[in-house]
Amino acid sequence: MAYKYLVIVESPAKAKTIEKYLGRNYKVVASVGHVRDLPKSKMGIDIENNYEPHYISIRGKGDVIKSLKQAAKKAQKVYLASDPDREGEAIAWHLAYLLGLDLKDKNRVVFNEITKDAVKAAFKEPRSIDVSLVDAQQARRALDRLVGYSISPILWRKVKKGLSAGRVQSIALKIIIDREKEIREFIPEEYWSIDGNFKKEKKKFKANFWGVDGKKKKLPNAESVKEITQRIDGKDYQVTKVEKKERRRNPAQSFTTSNMQQEAARKLNFRTRKTMMVAQQLYEGISLGKQGTVGLITYMRTDSTRISDTAKAEAAEFIENKYGKEYSQHTARKTKNPQGAQDAHEAIRPTSVNRTPDEMKQYLDKDQLKLYTLIWSRFVASQMTAAVLDTMKVTLEQNGVIFIANGSKIKFKGFMQVYVEGRDDGKEDKENILPELVEGDVVQSVNIEPKQHFTQPPARFSEATLIKTLEENGVGRPSTYAPTLDTIQRRYYVKLTQRRFEPTELGEIVNSLIVDFFPQIVDVNFTAEMENGLDKIEEGKEEWVNVVDRFYKPFAVELEKAEEGIEKIQIKDEPAGFDCDVCGHPMVIKLGRYGKFYACSNFPDCRNTKPIIKEIGVECPVCHKGQVVERKSKKNRLFYGCSRYPDCDFTSWDKPVGRSCPKCDNYLVEKKVKGGKQVVCINGDYEEAVQK
């Protein structure tokens, strides 16, 4: 079929959705991501010539480029409709170069959502390629390449082949290791609390010890608790003060990329990479039967919290109709974008609030529905009125000993009717309703419970809390978080233990070298300043070469010192305690790319290796001959398998518990669930109570 206009996008899924909107005069094809990049075999940056990048066509993309050129020749005009961010602009720029398009020509089309109206509107207002946006991406690639291709060879020579360093990944690694040092050096301190159970008439409530004789008092040890309990003589307590207040709680803003990743980790147990993969599916288009293919959410790489007036108006009408006028936010709430936010597009929201999760569930798979529900609920809540809570603080006193009870009751749910933001500590705010009390009332003490506690070390970072920390420090941007976390795990610098990052010995060695010899790379403030420099390039306020030069000159000095100063580090092999079953030489424990493994000390004459396996004390539920052992996947994820592999191919992501299901006789496994662990049947026929 003949066509007048050729439209090029990144992905086939996006191409399929858009072509249906544009009609027979348009042909939409996909570049399948980037078509040109810096070469993998060398630096590709001419430092002596103003950091000129030397781009080449990506290996394996020859057929794609050839077909794009052929299609372009047949078209009267070519439109470049890659994603609306730095990376998308760079893809458009590279395509323009390969196809011989004029950069001043208005052939660039951008849209924040893939819906018929948004796409058609975008094609009415094409623009020329934004060279400032391209330069910002070019500067980022140059900086990343200068760091990676300068430090990585040193690590290869001095430590181990296959290692790498990068601007953002090195800071992420340092943050994880600094936290680990805090944990190791932490000294627990004892402290006590006294919980009191009270009642007025038949209504019971709790209060906590506060102090004595009008002064707040800490309880560092059992002796201090004894002093207090000896003063309490079992008599009733008097209510000496009642404070009542009305507190308003505002909803969270609509999602940016980073807080979508954080919330999906908290509420859905999604890994960062999974969140972005599912979000991309929702953005690029879902088939809605007779309605055709529609993008269900706006562009998913954004650090803006802005919402368009059209979306606000649609949300207001929806909320009034579904929940009532009193739930709709009539005046715009002031919002603040995160540090360094690029406000080119909106927050992540549904493309139409009228496409409710209930209506969409027939078209979405399980993971798509979970994430869409989260995005939809968060957006709707952000456009609703504040929740109103009645709070009450009651002071109880007896013989100078003071207890305080805090209560709260929801007076008006507001946005909480739809959505409440998750918390990193896993706790949720709950109502605590106190009996109606006034000053002078007498309440009865039911019992007093002293409890010993010890201060806890800071928690290791989860994916969610690490992203939050990187964002708070101005390090990285929406598109970099998921690849950064992926890289430090693939390099085995860190491993996930109970979904928390724990540094490996290799990670600590690499971090130590970078901190000692390349302090600028892991300086959070310096890196945040670099990100600001990239933003200024994008805004046309600074030349990209100047930003790169400002970084590279001091870095080059560090590089020279490192070449001379770093001594070759020998990672010592540990004795395994048994001999090789091939040649009889002692086996040793080596550190490899995916962790530790057994190897023959007679290497290279003997290449015998074995995985290090840990038995969990459970018989294999499939063959009943082997033992269930812990294993690691290539992505460093823990799973369980049979010790008789490959003779028995039993595997499970969940830990078998060594018992059979009382209903179907299949095996039971232990799953991590919200609030603890739960033993369940693999067929879903049986489950036990959650254990904390």
The pLDDT tens digits for 447-504 are: 999 999 999 999 999 999 999 999 998 888 888 888 999 999 888 899 888 889 999 8
CATH number at residue 110: 3.40.50.140
Residues 445 and 484 occupy one common structural domain: no
Distance CA 643, CA 629 (A): 6
Kindly state whether residue 69 falls inside one of the protein's structural domains.
Answer: yes
Copy the structure tokens of residue 365: 């798979």
In angstroms, the Cα distances linking 444 to 179, 200, 286, 398, 434 are: 46, 6, 61, 11, 14
Contact by Cβ (8 Å): 35, 57: yes
CA 82 to chain CA centroid, nearest Å: 24
**Consecutive H or E run containing 589:** strand 586-592
CATH number at residue 473: 1.10.460.10
> Phi, psi at residue 118, to the nearest 5°?
-65, -40
Residues 263 and 371 occupy one common structural domain: yes
Residues 281 and 373 occupy one common structural domain: yes
The confidence score (pLDDT) of residue 195 equals 95
Kindly state whether residue 298 falls inside one of the protein's structural domains.
Answer: yes
Kindly state whether residue 623 falls inside one of the protein's structural domains.
Answer: no
> Taking CA 677 as the corner, what is the angle to CA 671 and CA 680, rounded to the nearest 5 degrees?
45
Residues 229 and 307 occupy one common structural domain: no
Cis peptide before 554 (omega within 30 of 0): no
Choose the final residue of a domain: 454, 470, 505. Answer: 454
Residues 295 and 349 occupy one common structural domain: yes
The confidence score (pLDDT) of residue 602 equals 93
Residues of the chain with pLDDT under 70: 1, 330-344, 423-431, 570-571, 593-595, 634-636, 675, 692
Choose the final residue of a domain: 129, 157, 175. Answer: 129
pTM for the whole structure? 0.80
Distance CA 626, CA 616 (A): 12
Phi-psi region of 517 (alpha: psi -120 to 50; beta: other; left: phi over 0): alpha
**Consecutive H or E run containing 210:** strand 203-212
Residues 315 and 351 occupy one common structural domain: yes
Residues 560 and 578 occupy one common structural domain: no
Q: Which of the following is catalytic: 299, 327, 372, 552?
A: 299
Q: At what angle do helices 131-158 and 86-99 cross, to 10 degrees?
A: 100
Choose the final residue of a domain: 612, 633, 667. Answer: 612
Kindly state whether residue 369 falls inside one of the protein's structural domains.
Answer: yes
Residues 471 and 502 occupy one common structural domain: yes
Phi-psi region of 372 (alpha: psi -120 to 50; beta: other; left: phi over 0): alpha
The confidence score (pLDDT) of residue 340 equals 45
Kindly state whether residue 269 falls inside one of the protein's structural domains.
Answer: yes
The strands making up 627-632's β-sheet, listed across from edge to edge, are: 614-619, 627-632, 638-642, 651-652
Residues 343 and 278 occupy one common structural domain: yes
- With 0-12 / 13-18 / 19 or more C-beta atoms within 10 angstroms meaning exposed / middle / buried, residue 533 is buried
561 Cβ neighbours under 8 A, 6+ residues apart: 517
The confidence score (pLDDT) of residue 343 equals 46
Kindly state whether residue 13 falls inside one of the protein's structural domains.
Answer: yes
Cα Rg of the chain, angstroms: 30
Kindly state whether residue 634 falls inside one of the protein's structural domains.
Answer: no
In angstroms, the Cα distances linking 531 to 138, 167, 465, 476 are: 13, 11, 20, 7
Distance CA 508, CA 503 (A): 7
Its domain, for residue 436, covers 190-250+387-454
Helices (H), 324-461: 357-360, 366-382
CATH number at residue 282: 1.10.290.10
- Catalytic, 51? Answer no
Residues 283 and 170 occupy one common structural domain: no
Residue 642: name the closest of 658, 634, 631, 653 by CA: 631
Contact by Cβ (8 Å): 456, 188: yes
The confidence score (pLDDT) of residue 334 equals 53
The confidence score (pLDDT) of residue 280 equals 95
Total domain count, the chain: 5
Q: Tell me how many helices (H) and strands (E) the chain has.
A: 17, 29
- With 0-12 / 13-18 / 19 or more C-beta atoms within 10 angstroms meaning exposed / middle / buried, residue 630 is middle
Contact by Cβ (8 Å): 237, 397: yes
Residues 579 and 560 occupy one common structural domain: no
In angstroms, the Cα distances linking 95 to 37, 54, 60, 393 are: 11, 16, 16, 65
The confidence score (pLDDT) of residue 611 equals 79
Residues 338 and 356 occupy one common structural domain: yes
Kindly state whether residue 171 falls inside one of the protein's structural domains.
Answer: yes
Q: Are strands 77-80 and 5-9 parallel, antiparallel or unpaired?
A: parallel
